[in-house]
Every structure is written in structure tokens, then in C-alpha cells.
């Protein structure tokens, strides 16, 4: 569970739950509510204190009351939203295609600050203590003050940054479109080490047990030592990997463009199981309490048993390129590429 | 921009437009084509668009009838498309097309540093058989070599989800824009927040099957932003049009509301595809076509989800004449289908009609009577060369 302020990577933590506990294992059987938005939803919804926040390609950030789906507020940005929102204290933070990152008040939907950069911001802003970090397709990694948006540092990486950074006390780990996985000094943005994959790294790294865990477009999934940048293990998949990994209970889960959901042993990369093939999986899975859940392109939302890979349930509600469902004690929340948000139980 | 409305029907056809019909008389000479009449009279299509202004670069372009068929013995290594091999294929293919030894000189025939270059990819066979990222990167690098900066390039297609799932947004160099036309926000900094990806002033209007919306609009990237288009189709069969090559990639990837032209088993892809390609901005700006045939699809297209119907053709087809390239593509797919015992793309046997789901299962069935003669119709409209005897197909092997 994320702290109230720190949101150290996409969806707050490595299990990709969006900061929500997820005990439910039964298949959703009933529609609580649904909302049809103005365009596709590419990002993941996030949930806190009974409010679901959804960024839409129509340029709006929506806040829904989870009990009835009523819209509490909407914020109109000046460009499409592909970035998964981050929650930090009283703020919702998100990037937009015009290169801006905005901080909006969670309760009112009013803008607190906005910072401009180069290229679209598809990554999710990452918060550590009083700093917000984000990458852009213009090649910049930027650090700004959480309270004011004032620039702390900016680093030009000369490659598209679509990967959401993972931030620790001293380091920032992020993938680059040219295949670099870099560890930067969190306070200065300078290189600590660089690992070079053979093709782009789009996924967000997970960091656990001294390993940076991330897939690449070069078909490999890597476990890289957090201190040295050396590869501890790697495994080959059938196509590129853009799905950010979820890590839970010593297992690493991620989807492949080859259509498989993979479960690996975190210690040595051993394949524990992989799903039956689906359409391409580019979205991050969530992993929690005995099950792992993922949305696939052109497909469905499916849940599998973490230990065996046995399919637990499936919801044919429209696929997603990059969205991760939320499974809470009360409901399952899905945002789909066609732009429909579902609350199911 | 001066726009006019042109009407195609049986009585008017090309004469009304004043375009040459250089191949109309010889369009029935293809070895595998049936002796079918022109499709231009089969559907009334009103085109509302700027008048086409002929230029040397407009289709069929600088090298009518010429197709460079450049192959490499091993462009796929360990299942991955080899970037170095693609570079060699593209460089030598362009040299063979233009006669220029320096790549920058070859590309400078088609683009200048001030151009806004739209690059039309084909992402519909996600994820296996699409315009490869390797080819796209090499084209971008070649454009850079000709002085075109990344900020002047727009990679586009109709469907942003397909672009995204294939990684185009994330794998091209920084600065290159990647735009799905279904996005409402196609231009950074645009003050029009409700901007659509399509130009309301440029469209084709036709009623195929009594559909509610009878207009198909052309992408505003094509009409308003791009000064040149580089077309990167994929070598593959299409269940309605026969093949999806240069012509279909341009037409159905640049206009919206096009799926309505085929309701099984009937398809109006002929004449809709060639008419759309004739529309002024698309015809005049599409200056170069590079067909990705490294992996190819002989059945189940355009999606090609069954890997059984995908083969490694190991080729790029390069030229400025989309009709000639598509004609060669048609021969390649037909040859492959003969090898595996599948019916011809011109097959009209009702016993071979099947459901849409059948095409993923067997190469014997198809939901449509395909219309590969759309290529010949494009020739009638002056877009290029249909007859094999007049096509200058130059096969080169590089390594």
C-alpha cells in the first residue's frame, strides 16, 4: 500500500493495484454502474477514498463517486491524456500530450500548478517525498517540486521516454526508447549506471529484492542489479515486452506482445507458468492475494491463480492497450479502450 | 483551397475528370485476372475535394511502371527483423530505383528539408505482420539524411490503438509525431480543442449498402499538414479487396468510415479504393511506396492472426507507382496460394464462401468475393501500370 504522499511508480507500487487492497477472487457478476466517456481510455484508473480518477483521451480527467458512478468533477486539459494519474496527498498528478504535467486538487478538481516540457507525457508522474518525476517523448526526464511545480532538474536523454520512473531514496530507474535502462541520481539526474538492451524499454521498471525488473522490445525480460546495473538473469519471450511487471510474493508477472501472461520466479527468472495465448498484452497486470489480473488488446479482462496460472474468471468487456483494472473489496473497476468505465461486483 | 465535387458513375467515369485512362484498354491482360469489365460504373461516388494538379511526383510518380524487388537471404534472425539487413535492403533498393549511389541524393528526389512528411504505416496485423519498426526507423533515418528533421515527420494510421499496441508511439526517435486519426487531438498546440483528425471539406460520398453515414472524410494530416507522403504498406492478402497493398493502405488508412464498403459476400472496395487514391491531396502528395514484404500474409488478412498463413517473403517492393507494386504483390500472393493449394484471389465459387471466423481456420474459405481488380481500376484512373508486360520489375538480392 502506498503512503499518503509517496507514489514511487506506476499505480503506486509494484503490485500495480493503484494503492488499493484486492482480496476479491470471485468473478464479477453484476454491473454496478458504467460511464461512457468522450474518447478512448488508454491509462489506468486510480482509486482513493471512494473516488475513482480516470484520464481520457478527450483531454479530461474525471472523478467518479465509486458507489454510484456520479461525476464529482472533471478537469479539462488542453490535450489528450495518455498518462495514468498519480495520487499524492491532496493532489492528482498527470501528464498530457501537449507536454504538460498538471497537479489538480483531489477534492475540487481545481488546478494547483502546471509545468511544461517537450513532447507528449505518456508516463505516469512519480512522487518521492517532495519531488515529482516524469519522462516525456521529447526525451526529457524532469524533476519538479511537488507543492509548486517549480523545476528541480531536467535531463535530456536523447530518446523517447514512455517508461514510468521508479524512484527510491537515492535513485531513479527509467527505461529509454533506445534500449537504455538507466539509474539516475535522484537529486541531480546524473547517470549512476546504464544497462543497454537491444531495443527500446517502454515498460515501467519494478524494483524489489535488489533487482530492477523490466521487459524490453528486444523480446527479453531482465532482472538487473540495482547497485551495479549488471544483468542477474533474463528470459526470452515471443515478441516485445511493453507491459510493466507486477511483483508479488516472490513472483514476477507481466504480459507479452506474444499474447502470454508470464509468471516467473523473482529469484532466478524461472518460468513458473504462462497463460494460454491471448491477443497481445501490453497493459500491466495487477497481482494480489492469490490472483493476477490483466486486460488484453482486442480481448477481455482475465484473472488467474498466482500459483498455478489456472484461469479464475474472465470478463468480455472490451480490451485495453495499457490499462490495469482495480480490484477492491467491493468491486472491480475497468477502463477500456472504447472509453467505457465499468464498476462490477 | 478550391474544392469541387466530381461524380463517378457509369456514364461519366474518368472522362468527367479528364484523367487519362492509359490502361483501360489493356487492363484485361493480366495472367490471373478474369475478363471483368471496369468497376468504375458500378457505384456512384461523389468526390468533394481540391482538383488534382498533375506533377512529376504525383502518383504514378517519377518512375512509372518500375518496381524494385529487393530481397535479403536472412532479414529475420532468431525471429527478429534485422535492422542492419533492412538498412542494406532499403539503401540498395533506393539506389536501384533512382540510379543515385548516395542515399541522400536518392531521397532528395522525393523530399526536401522543408517538407512535412507523413509516413503511412500499416499496423492492422498486430502484432506479427505490420510495417516493421525496423523499416520505419530506416525510413526516418533516410529522411534525416535528406535533411528532414524529426519534427517534420508524422507517422499515421486510422487506428491509434493498433499503432499503440505495435509500439510505434514509443519506438520511433524523439520528435517524430505518431498520430491515430481517430484521436481528436491531432496537432500539438492546436487551439481548436475539438479538432477531428479528418477534414470536413474533403470527402467521398457513396451509398454502398444503405448505410446511415454515406461520407468518408480524408485525414486532415493529408489535406492540411503533410506536403509529402511516404507509404509503407505490408505485403498481404485482404479478405475483401484481394490484397492490401499500396493503394488500400493509402485509401482505407487515410479516409474514415470505410469498413462499410464490404458486407459479405459483396465488396465495393473496387472501385472505392482507386477512387479514393485519385483524390487530389492523396494522389499528389504520395511520392514513394515501400512495401514491407519481409513477413507476408497469404490468407486471413488484413489481420493475419493465424501464423500458419504468414510466411517469410524476405523482400521489400520499392517504387513510385502503386499500381505496379500492387500488381507484383498480387502475383506474389497468388503464387503462394497456388503453392499451398488455396483458391485464387479471383475465385468466384460460392462453395468457397465461409464465415468471417473461417478465415482464421482455413485458407479454403473466405467471406467475400474478393476484388483484386481494384488495382486495374486504379490503372484506368491513371495511377499506374497494371499490365505485367509493361512493369519493369527489377529483382536484386543483397546481403
Cis check: omega of the bond before B206, within 30 degrees of 0: no
Residues of B in contact with A57 (CB under 8 A): 183-185
- In whole angstroms, give the CA distance from residue B378 to residue B21: 9
More confident residue, B147 or B197: B147
Residues of A in contact with B173 (CB under 8 A): 159-160, 177
Distance from CA of B116 to the nearest CA of A (A): 18
What torsion, rounded to 10 degrees, do the Cα atoms A221, A225, A231, A237 define?
A: -10
Distance from CA of A324 to the nearest CA of B (A): 15
Confidence (pLDDT) at A23: 65
- Residue A76's Cβ-count burial label (10 Å; 0-12, 13-18, 19+) is exposed
Give the one of B80, B171, B185 whose C-beta lies nearest to A219's C-beta. Answer: B80
Give the one of A57, A238, A258 whose C-beta lies nearest to B183's C-beta. Answer: A57
Closest CA to B333 of B244, B219, B260: B244
Residues of A in contact with B133 (CB under 8 A): 217
Confidence (pLDDT) at A3: 66
Whether B82 contacts chain A with CB within 8 A: no
Residues of B in contact with A176 (CB under 8 A): none
Q: Does the complex come out with an ipTM higher than 0.85?
A: yes
The size of the A-B interface in CB pairs under 8 A is 90
Residues of A in contact with B193 (CB under 8 A): 59, 76, 78
Residues B127, A258: C-beta atoms closer than 8 Å: yes
Distance from CA of A62 to the nearest CA of B (A): 17
Cell of A338: 472504447
**Partners of A105 in the beta sheet?**
A91
Of B120-124, B196-200, B360-364, the poorest mean pLDDT is in B196-200
Share of chain A above pLDDT 90, in %: 82
- In whole angstroms, give the CA distance from residue B257 to residue B181: 12
Indicate the average pLDDT of chain B. Answer: 88
CB A227 within 8 A of CB A210: yes
Give the one of B126, B170, B184 whose C-beta lies nearest to A202's C-beta. Answer: B170
- In whole angstroms, give the CA distance from residue B371 to residue B52: 26
Q: Say yes or no to pLDDT of B269 above 70.
A: yes
The arithmetic mean of pLDDT across residues A118-130, rounded, is: 96
Distance from CA of A57 to the nearest CA of B (A): 7
Distance from CA of A292 to the nearest CA of B (A): 21
- In whole angstroms, give the CA distance from residue B3 to residue A32: 51
Which residue of B166, B185, B304, B310 is the best one to mutate when testing the A interface, meaning the one whose CB has the most A CBs within 10 A? B185
Strands (E), chain B: 3-8, 45-50, 66-71, 76-77, 80-81, 117-121, 153-157, 177-180, 198-205, 215-219, 228-232, 234-238, 242-244, 262-263, 266-267, 286-297, 310-311, 315-319, 392-397
- In whole angstroms, give the CA distance from residue B382 to residue B21: 6
A277 pLDDT band, cuts 50/70/90, is confident
Whether B129 contacts chain A with CB within 8 A: no
Residues of A in contact with B161 (CB under 8 A): 40, 297, 321, 337
What is the tens place of the pLDDT at every residue in B171-200?
999 999 999 998 754 333 444 434 568 998
Cis check: omega of the bond before A182, within 30 degrees of 0: no
CB B111 within 8 A of CB B228: yes
- Residue B306's Cβ-count burial label (10 Å; 0-12, 13-18, 19+) is middle
Q: Say yes or no to pLDDT of A113 above 60.
A: yes
Residues A58, B183: C-beta atoms closer than 8 Å: no
Residues of B in contact with A158 (CB under 8 A): 174
Of all residues in chain B, the one with the smallest CA distance to A163 is B170
Q: Say yes or no to pLDDT of B140 above 90.
A: yes
- Residue B309 phi/psi, 5-degree rounding, is -100, 10
Mention every residue, 6+ apart, whose C-beta is less than 8 A from residue B219.
B156, B181, B197, B198, B199, B254, B255, B256
What is the tens place of the pLDDT at every residue in A227-275?
999 999 999 999 999 999 999 999 999 999 999 999 999 999 999 999 9
Residues A177, B171: C-beta atoms closer than 8 Å: yes
Domains of chain B: 3-397 (3.40.50.11440)
Residues B161, A282: C-beta atoms closer than 8 Å: no
A164 pLDDT band, cuts 50/70/90, is very high
The arithmetic mean of pLDDT across residues A308-321, rounded, is: 86
- In whole angstroms, give the CA distance from residue B286 to residue B61: 8
Closest CA to A165 of A58, A289, A9: A9
Residues of B in contact with A164 (CB under 8 A): none
Residues B188, A239: C-beta atoms closer than 8 Å: no
B186-194, long-range: CB < 8 A, 24+ apart? B186/B220, B186/B221, B187/B225, B188/A79, B188/A97, B188/A98, B188/A99, B188/A120, B189/A98, B193/A59, B193/A76, B193/A78
Residues of B in contact with A160 (CB under 8 A): 170-174
What is the tens place of the pLDDT at every residue in B286-310?
999 999 999 999 999 998 888 899 9
Amino acid at each position: 500500500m502506498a503512503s499518503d504522499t509517496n507514489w514511487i511508480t506506476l499505480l503506486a507500487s509494484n503490485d500495480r493495484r493503484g494503492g488499493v487492497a484486492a482480496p476479491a477472487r470471485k468473478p464479477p457478476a453484476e454491473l454496478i454502474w458504467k460511464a461512457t466517456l468522450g474518447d478512448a481510455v488508454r491509462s489506468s484508473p486510480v482509486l482513493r477514498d471512494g473516488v475513482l480518477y480516470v484520464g481520457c483521451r478527450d483531454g479530461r480527467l474525471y472523478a467518479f463517486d465509486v458507489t454510484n458512478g456520479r461525476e464529482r468533477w472533471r478537469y479539462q486539459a488542453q490535450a489528450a491524456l495518455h498518462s495514468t494519474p498519480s495520487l499524492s496527498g491532496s493532489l492528482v498528478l498527470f501528464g498530457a500530450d501537449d507536454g504538460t504535467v498538471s497537479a489538480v486538487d483531489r477534492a475540487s478538481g481545481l488546478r494547483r500548478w502546471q509545468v511544461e516540457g517537450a513532447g507528449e507525457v505518456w508516463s505516469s508522474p512519480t512522487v518521492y517525498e517532495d519531488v515529482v518525476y516524469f519522462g516525456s517523448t521529447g526525451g526529457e526526464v524532469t524533476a519538479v517540486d511537488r507543492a509548486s511545480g517549480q523545476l528541480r532538474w531536467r535531463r535530456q536523454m536523447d530518446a523517447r521516454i514512455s517508461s514510468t520512473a521508479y524512484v527510491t531514496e537515492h535513485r531513479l530507474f527509467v527505461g529509454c526508447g533506445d534500449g537504455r535502462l538507466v539509474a539516475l541520481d535522484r537529486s541531480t539526474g546524473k547517470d549512476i549506471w546504464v544497462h543497454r538492451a537491444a531495443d527500446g524499454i517502454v515498460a515501467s521498471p519494478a524494483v524489489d529484492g535488489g533487482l530492477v525488473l523490466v521487459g524490453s522490445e528486444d523480446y527479453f525480460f531482465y532482472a538487473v542489479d540495482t547497485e551495479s546495473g549488471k544483468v542477474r538473469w533474463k528470459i526470452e519471450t515471443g515478441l516485445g515486452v511493453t507491459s510493466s511487471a507486477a511483483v508479488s510474493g516472490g513472483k514476477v508477472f507481466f504480459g507479452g506482445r506474444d499474447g502470454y501472461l508470464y509468471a516467473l520466479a523473482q529469484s532466478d527468472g524461472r518460468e513458473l507458468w504462462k497463460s494460454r495465448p491471448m491477443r497481445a498484452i501490453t497493459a500491466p497486470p495487477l497481482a494480489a492475494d492469490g490472483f493476477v489480473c490483466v486486460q488484453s488488446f482486442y480481448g477481455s479482462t482475465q484473472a488467474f491463480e498466482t500459483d498455478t496460472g489456472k484461469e479464475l474468471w474472465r470478463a468480455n468487456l472490451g480490451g485495453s492497450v495499457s490499462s490495469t483494472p482495480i480490484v477492491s473489496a467491493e468491486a472491480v473497476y475497468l477502463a477500456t479502450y472504447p472509453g467505457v468505465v465499468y464498476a462490477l461486483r | 483551397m478550391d474544392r469541387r465535387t466530381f461524380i463517378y458513375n457509369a456514364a461519366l467515369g474518368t472522362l468527367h475528370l479528364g484523367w487519362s485512362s492509359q490502361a483501360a484498354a489493356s487492363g484485361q491482360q493480366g495472367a490471373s485476372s478474369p475478363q471483368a469489365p471496369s468497376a468504375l460504373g458500378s457505384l456512384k461516388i461523389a468526390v468533394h475535394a481540391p482538383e488534382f494538379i498533375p506533377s512529376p511526383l504525383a502518383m504514378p510518380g517519377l518512375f512509372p511502371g518500375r518496381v524494385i524487388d529487393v530481397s535479403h537471404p536472412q532479414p529475420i534472425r532468431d525471429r527478429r527483423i534485422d535492422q542492419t539487413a533492412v538498412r542494406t535492403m532499403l539503401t540498395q533498393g533506393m539506389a536501384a530505383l533512382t540510379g543515385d549511389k548516395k542515399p541522400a541524393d536518392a531521397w532528395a528526389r522525393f523530399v526536401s528539408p522543408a517538407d512535412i512528411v507523413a509516413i503511412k504505416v500499416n499496423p492492422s496485423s498486430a502484432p506479427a505482420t505490420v510495417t516493421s519498426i525496423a523499416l520505419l526507423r530506416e525510413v526516418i533515418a533516410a529522411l534525416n539524411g535528406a535533411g528532414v528533421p524529426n519534427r517534420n515527420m508524422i507517422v499515421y494510421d486510422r487506428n491509434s490503438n493498433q499503432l499503440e499496441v505495435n509500439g510505434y508511439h514509443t519506438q520511433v526517435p524523439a520528435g517524430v509525431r505518431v498520430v491515430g486519426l481517430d484521436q481528436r487531438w491531432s496537432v500539438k498546440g492546436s487551439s481548436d480543442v475539438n479538432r477531428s483528425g479528418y477534414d470536413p471539406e474533403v470527402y467521398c460520398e457513396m451509398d454502398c449498402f444503405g448505410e446511415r453515414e454515406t461520407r468518408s472524410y480524408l485525414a486532415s494530416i493529408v489535406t492540411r499538414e503533410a506536403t509529402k507522403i511516404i507509404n509503407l504498406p505490408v505485403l498481404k492478402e485482404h479478405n475483401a479487396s484481394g490484397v492490401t497493398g499500396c493503394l488500400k493502405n493509402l485509401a482505407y488508412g487515410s479516409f474514415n468510415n470505410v469498413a462499410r464498403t464490404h458486407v459479405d459476400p459483396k465488396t465495393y472496395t473496387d472501385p472505392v479504393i482507386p477512387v479514393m487514391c485519385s483524390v487530389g491531396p492523396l494522389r499528389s502528395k504520395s511520392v514513394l511506396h515501400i512495401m514491407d514484404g519481409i513477413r507476408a500474409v497469404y490468407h486471413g488478412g488484413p489481420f493475419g492472426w493465424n501464423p500458419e498463413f504468414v510466411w517469410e517473403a524476405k523482400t521489400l517492393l520499392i517504387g513510385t507507382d502503386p499500381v505496379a507494386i500492387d500488381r507484383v504483390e498480387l502475383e506474389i500472393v497468388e503464387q503462394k496460394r497456388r503453392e499451398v493449394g488455396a483458391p485464387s484471389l479471383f475465385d468466384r465459387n460460392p462453395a468457397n464462401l465461409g464465415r468471417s471466423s473461417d478465415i482464421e481456420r482455413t485458407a479454403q474459405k473466405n467471406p467475400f468475393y474478393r476484388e483484386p481488380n481494384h488495382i486495374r481500376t486504379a490503372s484506368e484512373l491513371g495511377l499506374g501500370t497494371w499490365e505485367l508486360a509493361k512493369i519493369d520489375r527489377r529483382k536484386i538480392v543483397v546481403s
